[in-house]
């Protein structure tokens, strides 16, 4: 493999991992916010 091919493949792998990490991290943050809002909305009713 030429040096350029190695550099391009490493860059592509890093870009793919970064994109998957960002995609995977975003819904968890939104889900945590939604769950926290539901908890605070339910707490006065439960007491």
State how far the Cα of 15 lies from the Cα of 38, in Å rounded to an integer. Answer: 35
**Residue 1: per-residue pLDDT:** 73
Q: Does the predicted TM-score (pTM) go above 0.75?
A: no
| 1-39 pLDDT, tens digit each | 799 999 999 999 999 999 988 877 665 556 667 777 777
**Residue 33: per-residue pLDDT:** 75
Number of H helices and E strands in the chain, helices first, is: 1, 0
**Residue 43: per-residue pLDDT:** 54
- Model confidence at 42: pLDDT above 90: no
Task: Name the DSSP letter for residue 8.
Answer: H
């Amino acid at each position: 493999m030429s040096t350029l091919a190695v550099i391009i493949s490493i860059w592509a792998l890093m870009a793919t991992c970064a994109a998957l990490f960002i995609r995977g991290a975003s819904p968890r943050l939104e889900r945590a916010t939604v769950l926290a809002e539901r908890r605070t909305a339910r707490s006065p009713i439960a007491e």
